[in-house]
Structure 1
């Protein structure tokens, strides 16, 4: 990716899904550009299309129409494996529900994507990143042996260990109490600064949204406001 190519660009993106009552329009002509290193918070009421936007932008869901460009690549020209290869080491995801592999320890969970990407020293790198999130004493613990805050910190270490250029975060503090949420948010922004990664984050938390460079407000599947001033 050259310096002048945005890590993410959506143009006239729609998403229509079938239902028993007929087609449902989830996204309705969304335009969104995210610059290198920019932190964007996506807010709006439930059902406004926020999480669907993340899924389409990350290439997890194909849009019905429009163009999604990730690191300058048109995702419509790639199959599922091609989209996975494009994301590998360059785009990472953190979800509300952690998505840790239950049969792997904390260090194995962090090392797994590094090993898939054939990165050297996957386990030492995993240990380094678990140390960054304050979990050096929990390396060999399994997810069921960790608190919710600890699991989300493992998920954050896993997402950022490859030093991606773009992090997608869908309600990253949604399952955490206020104390753990604040700790995870501070860690996330500190580690993003270290990596220089851009952020596209869905959140219902107005305090968290205010930490972004720009707030994008959605309603009824559309972007109705995009303002840097809103995050000031």
Structure 2
């Protein structure tokens, strides 16, 4: 690499991030000085007991929640310098999220759900690309099915296809197998790791599943709003 060319910024860098939220009993410290850097293509599992701040870490990292203190950088950009529209533009086509509860649009078919982010990005072949991705996750026979007509495992496969069809540089996954039976969970996990590797995305995954966490390159353990190890 030439001396005058800087390496790319890491997809995610959190520095001394704190998050305090109000409650009826007074302020609650959710995150307490979290430092975390995720490098290009790195797969990181975030584990810890319920209430330790795992999902809040993802919310701050993705620009969905403003930290009370510290700094969150996404692709080298300080999220505090951007308004909501600016954050959405930064995320578009570069980040994607998969949730435990699938979050599919109930009035859209599987292929329409997957095509939506492509259409937002202005792709001309959104439906054709959506069909191809649904085929890759084993759902070619479910293209025109609505979410309520799909099993939990099938819905999460649709959600995974929707997230990765834009070939993001960073995928956030919050308990992606938490609502699935063991067979479906293994199938979805296999698909997620294989497809993340194929598109070259970094992965930040919150999970209670120790076997799933062990498949990551690095495990970050949280306790009481801090990174314990």
TM-score, normalization: structure 1? 0.95
- Partner in structure 2 of residue 118 of structure 1: 122
Structure 1 runs, 4 residues or longer, greater than 2 Å off = none
Structure 1 portions without partners, runs of 5+: 226-232
Matched residue SS, 1:40: strand
Distance 1:185 1:124 in 2: 25
1:85 equivalent among 57, 73, 89: 89
- Partner in structure 2 of residue 229 of structure 1: none
Distance 1:32 1:119 in 2: 34
Matched residue SS, 1:175: coil
The question of 1:24 aligning with 2:24 is answered no
Distance 2:80 2:8 in 1: 21
Any residues of structure 2 matched to 1:72-111 within 5 Å, and which? 72-111=76-115
Range with greater deviation from structure 2 (120-129 or 91-100): 120-129
1:194 equivalent among 195, 198, 207: 198
Q: Deviations over 1:61-112 (max 9, x none)?
A: 1110110000111000111111111110000000000000000000000000
Any residues of structure 2 matched to 1:20-169 within 5 Å, and which? 20-169=24-173
Count of paired positions: 224
- Partner in structure 1 of residue 181 of structure 2: 177
The 1:3–1:128 alpha-carbon spacing in structure 2 relative to 1, beyond 3 Å, is farther
Q: Deviations over 1:166-219 (max 9, x none)?
A: 000000000000000000000001101110100000000000000000000000
Structure 2 portions without partners, runs of 5+: 1-5
CA offset at residue 4 of structure 1?
A: 2.6
Matched residue SS, 1:217: strand
Q: Deviations over 1:130-158 (max 9, x none)?
A: 01100011000000000000000000000
Distance 1:185 1:158 in 2: 15
The question of 1:13 aligning with 2:20 is answered no
CA offset at residue 120 of structure 1?
A: 2.5
Structure 1 vs Structure 2 CA RMSD: 0.7
- Partner in structure 2 of residue 216 of structure 1: 220
The question of 1:206 aligning with 2:210 is answered yes
Matched residue SS, 2:64: coil
